[in-house]
Structure 1
Amino acid sequence: MLLLGGLAFFVAPLTGFGQSSATDSTLLVASVKSASSHYTAAISNNSELFNGPEYVFYNKALQKTKGHPFFETDQPQKGSVLYNGASFSDVPLLYDIKLDQLITFYPVSLLKIQLITPSVGSFSVNNHSFIYLSEDKEANFTAGFYELLVSGEASVIARRVKETEKSIQGGQIEYSFIERDKYYIRYNEKPSLVSSAADITRLFPDQKKELQKFVKSNRLRFKKNSREKDMIQLVSYYNALSK
């Protein structure tokens, strides 16, 4: 159980088992059946978990594509989800980060079911924990799923997003899925978009000098390939100072 802004969220450690970037339909069926076997007996066909619409794999309409719209892998991963206040474990999940949709599979038929997003309190997959947060118009903050990277007085959350880019390859139109993550610090119930050390230290004037020293002594550069790690390190240090 994690606390964020005074609210409790269900988060469970998991072990993923999907194979990344595999597209063979036989592999997909085998993966889903393997995951489903762990929870079919515990979840009836009329379970509340299956009250969402069917998920349609929309990118077939994009013709030639590079990559996929899912978080980490296009294969189902064993996960846990808090849905309408009820917790379910060992559930096969896919997370479409282009549409911000969480998908599970109907037992036996393997029909893809799109969970109703606001009804998902939280979910965990492959050691990543996500929570649903409401819109904050004042902060220009969109409702949806956010990965919880640091929990404490100040929390670090990441919006995992993929966008499509169109290009011409050999005279053919090709669409590529490009991941563009956004990071927020949630402090005093307010989310703030951040991308640099200065963005973060500005939020904590009482500890600004200490944080600046920490950035310098630990050589936190906030470059593209280290930004997430540096952000986690800096905010974790702030939380330690605040205890």
Structure 2
Amino acid sequence: MRWPTLVLIATLLPSINLLGQSVKSDSLFIQQAKNRAVGVYERAIYRQEHVYEGNEYIPHDHRIKIHPFYPIDTLQRGTIAYNGTDYHDVPMLYDIVRDELSIQPPEGGYRIRIHTNKVSAFSIGPYQFVKILGDSALGAPTGFYQLLHNGSVKVFVRRIKTIHEDISSGAYKADYIPQDRFFILKDGVYHPVKTKGSVLSVFADKGKELKKFIRANQLKFKDLQREEAISRVTQQYEELTHKL
């Protein structure tokens, strides 16, 4: 072998070694990336499966024709804050007779009644609910409440249906009676409200102005109009007191 050839080989050897090291490094990087991706996937699957724990949801008496759910009796997708983790796109129903969620596992089968004590909040469709841990000082019992107005002063409603049974005719008859309860959270206290007078008593410092607002906007505090009236008066109070 001639001398120039030896020089050429000696020159190329480091490059060949570096190329081999580069290929090995790339392979190692790809394998590490795969391992990380698999780990993330497995953890995500575990967390997602974690929300599907609980007991079988037992339906109510089939003789009661009106459903016990809010807002409708078909599965809707939403988000659940469960045991410190948010689970998205979960098919669920909100039973407002029992104040509990039932969810449908991805593989089908029976619906699951998840552990209520591990749920801190959830949304179902466009409706947002939070759990309030109440006591006598706060003025609201523990349960899930729909957030209607989220300002410095908040408005909540607890969606409730109770079962009314009648056997006077000798045959069993029953119905679900809606009994929504509204609360205004102001200065750390939940004030139960229902009528115009009860709302104005919470906002007594702006009572005169709010009475004019109610008359001008023809707000009513009965039945289906109550929710809008309470929310609008609360928002107007914030505007009057610059508490937005």
> TM-score normalized by structure 2?
0.75
- Work out whether residues 156 and 185 of structure 1, in 8 Å CA contact, stay in contact via their aligned partners in 2: yes
Match of 1:56 in 2: 58
The alignment of Structure 1 onto Structure 2 pairs a total of residues equal to: 199
Q: Are 2:78 and 2:92, in contact at CA under 8 Å, matched by a contact in 1?
A: yes
Look up the equivalent residue of 1:150 and give its one-letter code.
H
| Separation (CA, whole Å) in 2 of partners of 1:67 and 1:43 | 37
For 1:43 and 1:146, locate their aligned partners in 2 and report how far apart those are by CA, in whole Å.
29
Distance in 1, Cα, partners of 2:239 & 2:84: 32
RMSD: 2.0
Deviation for aligned residue 1:180: 1.2
Q: Partners of 1:85 and 1:45 in 2: how far apart?
A: 10
Residue 54 of structure 1 deviates from its aligned partner by 2.4
- TM-fit CA distance, 1:168: 4.8
Distance in 2 (CA, whole Å) between partners of 1:78 and 1:46 is 14
Deviation at 1:140, TM superposition (A): 4.5
Deviation at 1:157, TM superposition (A): 0.3
Amino acid paired to 1:161: I
Give the Å deviation of 1:171: 4.8
Tell me, in whole angstroms, the C-alpha distance in 1 between the residues paired with 2:136 and 2:54: 27
Q: Whose strand proportion is higher, 1 or 2? A: 1
Partner of 1:37: none
Equivalent pairs: percent with the same residue?
A: 32
| C-alpha separation in 2, matches of 1:195 and 1:109 | 41
Q: Is the 8 A contact 2:167 2:173 kept in 1?
A: yes
Give the Cα–Cα distance (whole angstroms) in 2 for the partners of residues 240 and 52 of structure 1: 45
Tell me how far 1:239 sits from its aligned partner: 1.8
- What does 1:97-136 correspond to in 2, within 5 Å? 97-136=96-135
Tell me the amino acid that sits aligned with residue 50 of structure 2.
Answer: E
Amino acid at match of 2:103: T
Is the CA contact 2:139–2:192 (under 8 Å) kept in the aligned structure 1? no
Which ranges of 4 or more aligned residues in structure 1 deviate by more than 6 Å?
Answer: none
SS at match of 2:135: coil
The 3-state SS of whatever aligns with 2:223 is: coil
| Structure-1-length-normalised TM-score | 0.75
Greater C-alpha Rg: 2
With CA pairs under 8 Å and 6+ residues apart, which has the higher RCO, 1 or 2?
A: 1
- Cα distance change on mapping 1:44 and 1:209 into 2, 3 Å: same
Compute the displacement of 1:194 (Å). Answer: 0.3
Q: Is contact 2:101–2:116 with CA below 8 Å preserved after alignment? A: yes
